[in-house]
Amino acid sequence: MAAIAMVRWNSLAAQQTDLQVVPDTTARSGISLITADTIPDISPISPLNLTGTKEQKRRSFVCSAAGIIVPAAMISYGFAALHTTPLRDLNYSTKTEIQEHNPNFSTGVDNFLQYSPAVAVYVLNAAGIKGKHNLRDRTIILGLTAIINAGTVGFVKAQTREMRPDGSNDLSFPSGHTANAFASAEFLRQEYRDVSPWIGIAGYAAATATGVMRMYNNRHWLSDVVAGAGFGILSTKAAYWIYPVIQRKLFPEHKNLVMLPYYNTQLKTAGISLSLTNF
């Protein structure tokens, strides 16, 4: 029995010796084996992360309750001033106060200042300070904002027929210039809210100055300006809500994960190549 055990032990030892020699023999023949050391450390790809960056840009627009309540309250104030005596009296007293201290005031700056926050978005991007969206996306959002804002303000003007303070026509309510200015300011804020809050504050300062100038030019009542600001802000928010739906319709992205084997003739190694393609 001892002899038989010794023979088996020698046989196993010989097998182990042969296995240890195999890598040296194959190396001398120019053939490399794929071992754990030659396979790159590739973390598993989760299906949820395959469209990471693109899908993050397409997520729905989220707004706080205050972001809706405040501009809605501004619009409500404007409508209330059309039929409420105390608020109408405030309009007249504000106009009288401005005209008494600035009887000859006149400027055309408000005609250009109303668009300055929107222009600032493109200037900042050109300067290398990137906003939330690329050129295509932000331009479409701005276009949607302009359509919603112009359509809403124009419709309300035609329905209310409020006489301007200077008596030139009955298209006073709400202020179109102020609506454009605050729509632009909210556009600037949304694009750069993650960069710096001061950029948005500067845009709203320009929009407020536009509204004030409209009153100093005797073109609008106080309630016209307040309501115009509300319409402008909500128009921009509506555009940001709508755009993800339009983006998915106009610019669909189909993705395909391709797995291909490869062989490197120089390093004598083989493996699998993963490629995520859009088409």
- pLDDT category at 14 given cuts 50, 70, 90 is very low
Q: What is the pLDDT of residue 250?
A: 79
Give yes or no: residues 87 and 201 share one domain.
yes
Q: What is the pLDDT of residue 97?
A: 96
pLDDT of 57 over the 80 cut:
no
| Both structure tokens of 41 | 């450390």
**247 contact partners, CB below 8 Å, separation of at least 6:** 58, 137, 140
Q: What is the pLDDT of residue 123?
A: 97
Is there a domain that residue 2 lies in? no
Evaluate the omega torsion of the peptide bond into residue 86 and state whether it is cis, within 30 degrees of 0.
no
Check which CATH number belongs to the domain holding 77 and give it.
Answer: 1.20.144
Give yes or no: residues 101 and 215 share one domain.
yes
Give yes or no: residues 92 and 39 share one domain.
no
Give yes or no: residues 201 and 124 share one domain.
yes
- pLDDT tens-digit readout, 127-142: 999 999 999 999 999 9
Number of domains in the chain: 2
Over residues 16-34, the mean pLDDT reads: 44
Domain assignment of residue 221, given as a range: 64-250
Is there a domain that residue 82 lies in? yes
Q: Percent of the chain at pLDDT above 70?
A: 68
Give yes or no: residues 241 and 276 share one domain.
no
Give yes or no: residues 224 and 271 share one domain.
no
Is there a domain that residue 24 lies in? no
Q: What is the pLDDT of residue 279?
A: 45
Is there a domain that residue 120 lies in? yes
Q: d(Cα 110, Cα 28) in Å, to the nearest integer?
A: 83
Give yes or no: residues 227 and 269 share one domain.
no
- pLDDT tens-digit readout, 75-102: 999 999 999 999 999 999 999 999 999 9
Predicted TM-score (pTM) of the model is 0.71
Q: d(Cα 137, Cα 120) in Å, to the nearest integer?
A: 16
Give yes or no: residues 86 and 215 share one domain.
yes
Q: What is the pLDDT of residue 262?
A: 54
Contact 176, 184 (CB under 8 A): no
Is there a domain that residue 117 lies in? yes
Q: What is the pLDDT of residue 248?
A: 84
Alpha-carbon dihedral of residues 231, 233, 234, 236, nearest 10 degrees?
Answer: 120
Give me the helices (H) in the chain, please. 2-28, 52-57, 65-83, 85-101, 110-113, 116-126, 135-160, 176-192, 197-216, 222-250
Give yes or no: residues 266 and 163 share one domain.
no
- pLDDT tens-digit readout, 164-197: 999 999 999 999 999 999 999 999 999 999 999 9
